Structure 1
Amino acid sequence: MQPVGAAVPLRVDIAEKTFRSAHGVSVTALKDLSFEVRQGEFACLLGPSGCGKTTTLRILLGLDRQFSGSFQLPEGGSRRIAAVFQEPTLLPWRTVEQNVRLALPKSLRAKNLDGLFNALGLAGMRSLYPAELSLGLARRAALARAFATEPAMLFLDEPFVSLDGRTAEQLRRLLLTVWSARPTTALMVTHNLTEALMLSDRIIVLSPRPAHVLGMFDIGLPRQDRNPQAMSALLRSFHQKFPGVT
């Protein structure tokens, strides 16, 4: 079904999503998957690799319409949807700034992006081309492109995967800096529990395939208080509620 008007920022009710494998076998990826993400909330979809997290995002982005069920996207505000994928997907013949501005609607084409580029550490790299960037810098540019559109809903599909630990940690903190300056409803796919505990207000825990919701883990602790000791306590609390989920 097509998405319909929303009383809440994001509501997902996917009854079933199946696909055919390379051998012609029918595989059920999602089954009775239901959850909500509240206004201005940063939520993480946490689940094992291959459970259907990315499939869920593809459905919500309108990239996969072959499913049964429904979902409701945000209403009000800009109504714009932005996405950050595992690959930066920057146009190689455009500069960093040109890549970011290409995503802007006409009403924002002349927008001052100095603050955004400064926050992401890209101020001196606006005229560079993607081939001149490291993977970490290219992913910063992808984040800039998403936030520049002032989206009502932000989807992130493991945007820090395959980065070394130090670079990934730096980008997580940059993401929080930019998101905190203009909190927008966000849903991020990850299989990294520590990452989810650091970034999110709520973790939506998924089962192995076919994915359904095992439960929710709400994090009431402000992000600035999530120091190593607090993170250890959150990990213990999570494992008490979801034993066996890593």
Structure 2
Amino acid sequence: MRPVGAGVPLRVEIADKTFHPAGGEPLTAVRDLSFEVRHGEFACLLGPSGCGKTTTLRILLGLDKHYTGSVQLPDGGRIAAVFQEPTLLPWRTVEENVRLAMPPEMRSKSLDALFETLGLSAMRKLYPSELSLGLARRAALARAFAIEPSILLLDEPFVSLDEQTAQRLRYLLLTVWSERPTTALMVTHNLNEALMLSDRIVVLSPRPAHVLGIFDVRLPREYRNPQVMNDLHLSFREKFPHTG
């Protein structure tokens, strides 16, 4: 895995990722998976549970190096990740959790605007145990954006939340991403979420994951009202009738 120059897209070419459990049969999670995310684009990896989406994200993060293929990262800068669980340090305040993730040379910069956007200004001195799950997820988003990443990877960050809370956080994610644009790739199995957030959707097959096709969402997000979302949903189902 090698970082590259500014403006270069994220390119993924995973020929094979097979797990070899002790005493068990080999399990191929990914095979012939190829896609790219353009510089500054928000893309979603959409596929059924267990198809290999998270495995792909782990490879992009460098957490799993045992695969055949190559990954090209944009910009050569910092990678930020938001996981299904907030993974905040319980003995640190919200602000301390965010600043600890920042490079030393950035830790003195103001976080006022970021916390204001995410509705965390009054929670800076609170500890994770004093937060609701929704607020903890906001803190995880703040931690990711505070490092000014060249690529943002999200692994179903709103899973297990009630729909009202999840929708509120989707809007917050869009707001903070629009103010601090970066190449973003989000794993989801929620079609409505993907249609709301992304510029393009990379549709994956059941395991072993490979790309079934690309669905581009060309409309600006401010025009994606309920009627438009319904039309997008119908268009997606026409192109991918056997998914989901």
TM range (shorter): over 0.9
Aligned to 1:17: 17
2:158 to 154, 157, 160: 160
2:182 to 160, 177, 184: 184
Whether the aligned pair in 1 keeps the contact of 2:3 and 2:74 (CA below 8 Å) is no
Shift, 1:8, TM fit? 2.5
Aligned to 1:5: 4
Shift, 1:102, TM fit? 0.3
Shift, 1:9, TM fit? 2.3
Alignment of 1:40-189 (within 5 A): 40-75=40-75, 79-189=77-187
- Unpaired runs of at least 5, structure 2: none
Shift, 1:24, TM fit? 1.1
In the alignment, is residue 217 of structure 1 matched against residue 215 of structure 2?
yes
Q: TM-score, normalised by structure 1?
A: 0.96
Shift, 1:106, TM fit? 1.6
Shift, 1:107, TM fit? 1.8
Aligned length: 243
In the alignment, is residue 230 of structure 1 matched against residue 228 of structure 2?
yes
Counterpart residue identity of residue 49, structure 2? S
Q: TM-score, normalised by structure 2?
A: 0.97
Counterpart residue identity of residue 62, structure 1? G
Shift, 1:22, TM fit? 6.3
Residues 81-123 of structure 1: per-residue CA shift (max 9 Å, x gap): 0000000000000000000000111221111100100100100
- Give the SS at the match of 1:121: coil
**Separation in 1, partners of 2:210, 2:138:** 32
Counterpart residue identity of residue 117, structure 2? A
Counterpart residue identity of residue 32, structure 1? D
Shift, 1:182, TM fit? 1.4
**Separation in 1, partners of 2:80, 2:92:** 20
- Give the SS at the match of 1:49: coil
- Unpaired runs of at least 5, structure 1: none
**Separation in 2, partners of 1:92, 1:36:** 37
**RMSD of aligned Cα (Å):** 1.1
Counterpart residue identity of residue 135, structure 1? L
Shift, 1:171, TM fit? 0.2
Q: Is the deviation greater in 100-109 or in 145-154? A: 100-109
Identity of aligned residues (%): 73
Residues 12-39 of structure 1: per-residue CA shift (max 9 Å, x gap): 0000000024651101000000000001
